[in-house]
Amino acid sequence: MGHIISFTNQKGGVGKTTSAVNVALSLGVTEEKTLLIDLDPQANATTGVMDISDPPTSSIYDVLIKDVPVKDAITSTKFPELDLIASTNDLVGAEIELVSIMAREYQLQKCLKFIKKKYKFIIIDCPPSLGLLTINALTASDSIIIPIQSEYYALEGLGQLLNTVRLVQRHLNKKLEIAGVLMTMYDGRLNLSKQVADEVQGYFKDKLFKTLIHRNVRLSEAPSFGKPALLYDASSTGAMDYMNLTEEILHRVG
Ligand SMILES: Nc1ncnc2c1ncn2[C@@H]1O[C@H](COP(=O)(O)OP(=O)(O)O)[C@@H](O)[C@H]1O
Ligand SMILES: [Mg+2]
């Protein structure tokens, strides 16, 4: 119970949020109600699943920095299968404010202890950096999934990410595992996409998920309707890719 999965890559625009939102909802639909935690100050996961005209009273910032009890920050979303701990722009300051907190790397883990048993899965959408917020996510997680965009500089920066994961495993969270590496925005018509996928496969071997997330316009349209692709257009390639991925994730960590 309470398996925590972070979607992490310090690069922006690689598909972390799209993957976190769609996997969280798929898990909620196929398994049990799932909790999505938005740990990015840009709050894209938050706006993707809830009405911003009715913002929650507390966010992940209040939990991490203001000692608000985590249960008070859990809000329902438009989808009965999915709960959310929202993000707000205040979270930008948390990177600095966390520095002076005792056991700062464990702050999120400590807070999630109280609700871990309530959910079968908790999904964390990480910010595009390797700062204290991401370290908190890695320290609190059982597994991470690394989305990689199928483009030329895909592997750039991955060494740094893997090094951070190793440091966390050694010093902060021994049980952290890489559940898998995920190719996103894959375009089968492009040689480049195939080359990059081959390169990633050569590097990560079995860690690469068999499911590729294809480039699909429905996935980029869905957020502007405040919906995950699964509900915006359930028959789209994007929705199906994420359903397949969710099955693979369940197989690996379920
Ligand atoms: N498979 C995909 N096909 C088409 N567009 C995508 C796909 N995945 C993500 N996008 C779009 O690419 C942009 C970056 O994705 P996002 O999930 O926000 O990345 P990150 O969270 O890593 O910054 C967004 O505009 C999103 O809608
Ligand atoms: Mg994002």
Q: Examine the pLDDT at 254 and tell me if it is beyond 80.
A: no
Pocket test for ligand 1, best of 18, 183, 227, 230 (most atoms within 8 A of CB): 18
- Which atom of ligand 1 lies closest to the CA of 213? 1
Question: Do residues 67 and 155 lie in contact, with contact meaning Cβ atoms separated by under 8 Å?
Answer: no
Res 231: pLDDT: 87
Res 184: pLDDT: 97
Å from CA of 183 to ligand 1 middle: 12
Q: Pocket residues for ligand 1 (CB within 6 Å)?
A: 12-18, 44, 128, 184-185, 213, 215-216, 219-220, 223, 238
Domains and CATH numbers, the chain: 3-253 (3.40.50.300)
Which pTM value belongs to this model?
Answer: 0.97
Q: Examine the pLDDT at 78 and tell me if it is beyond 90.
A: no
Å from CA of 69 to ligand 1 middle: 32
CA distance 22 to 245: 10
pLDDT tens for residues 83-122?
999 999 999 999 999 999 989 999 999 999 989 999 999 9
Residue owning tokens 């990059």: 196
Which amino acid is it at 40? D
Q: Token pair of 105, please?
A: 């790397």
pLDDT tens for residues 118-166?
999 999 999 999 999 999 999 999 999 999 999 888 888 899 999 999 9
- If DSSP codes are grouped into helix, strand and coil, which group holds residue 148? strand
